[in-house]
């Protein structure tokens, strides 16, 4: 089965400099849920790899994170889509764990859980750390302009081979060979 790894905040849902801290704050980016449904229909296993340091910072707890993900699952189901698994890092940058992007720990765990080689697996993110983690694990880095994407482009130093797309829908169009992608 083909696999794709997506960041959450800024790729699937609107991001905030103040963190997404509740289900009420979790709002999908236009077209992102339908893009995930198209991936499902094309035979992709869709996995989310997301830093959630708001837990480590005490901004929200596990029940709240689970409620946000339940909202995402319900909205996806309404358009015929699904996320097969969510891997997250609850740690702050100060904890220097191996699972927090830009380190590849979450990606390595995904490879182990699914017993797959991540070489060439698309990894879509909006920040440099998303791309670095995916690239370090052998993934094909894809950057979206949503979320922190424009800032990431402006700062440069993207991993070799990174492709840039307007949003998740455009990235999925490019993967599935459809017109309208950039």
Q: Which residue, 5, 21, 30, 3, is CA-closest to 147?
A: 30
Please say if 84 is a catalytic residue: no
CA distance 171 to 182: 8
Helices in 18-148 by DSSP H: which ranges?
Answer: 32-41, 53-56, 62-78, 105-114, 128-136
Helices in the chain by DSSP H: which ranges?
Answer: 32-41, 53-56, 62-78, 105-114, 128-136, 149-155, 168-175
Task: Out of 9, 15, 126, 130, pick the active-site residue.
Answer: 9
* Residue 28 near residue 162, CB atoms below 8 Å: no
* Residue 151 near residue 17, CB atoms below 8 Å: no
Q: Which SS3 state, helix, strand or coil, does residue 57 take?
A: coil
Please say if 7 is a catalytic residue: yes
Residue with tokens 């889509």: 81
Residues assigned a catalytic role: 7, 9
């Amino acid at each position: 089965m083909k696999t794709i790894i997506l960041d959450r905040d800024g790729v699937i849902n609107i991001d905030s400099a103040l963190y997404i801290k509740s289900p009420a704050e979790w709002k999908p980016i236009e077209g992102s849920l339908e893009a995930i449904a198209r991936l499902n229909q094309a035979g992709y296993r869709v996995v989310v790899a997301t830093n959630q340091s708001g837990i480590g910072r005490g901004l929200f707890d596990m029940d709240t994170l689970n409620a946000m993900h339940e909202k995402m699952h319900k909205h996806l189901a309404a358009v015929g889509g699904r996320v097969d698994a969510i891997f997250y890092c609850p740690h702050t940058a100060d904890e220097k764990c191996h699972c927090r992007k830009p380190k590849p720990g979450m990606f390595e765990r995904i490879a182990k859980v699914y017993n797959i080689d991540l070489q060439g697996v698309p990894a879509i993110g909006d920040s440099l750390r998303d791309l670095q983690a995916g690239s370090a694990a052998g993934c094909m880095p894809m950057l979206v302009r949503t979320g922190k994407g424009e800032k990431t482009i402006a700062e440069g130093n993207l991993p070799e081979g990174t492709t840039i797309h307007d949003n998740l829908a455009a990235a999925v169009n490019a993967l599935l060979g459809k017109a309208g992608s950039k």
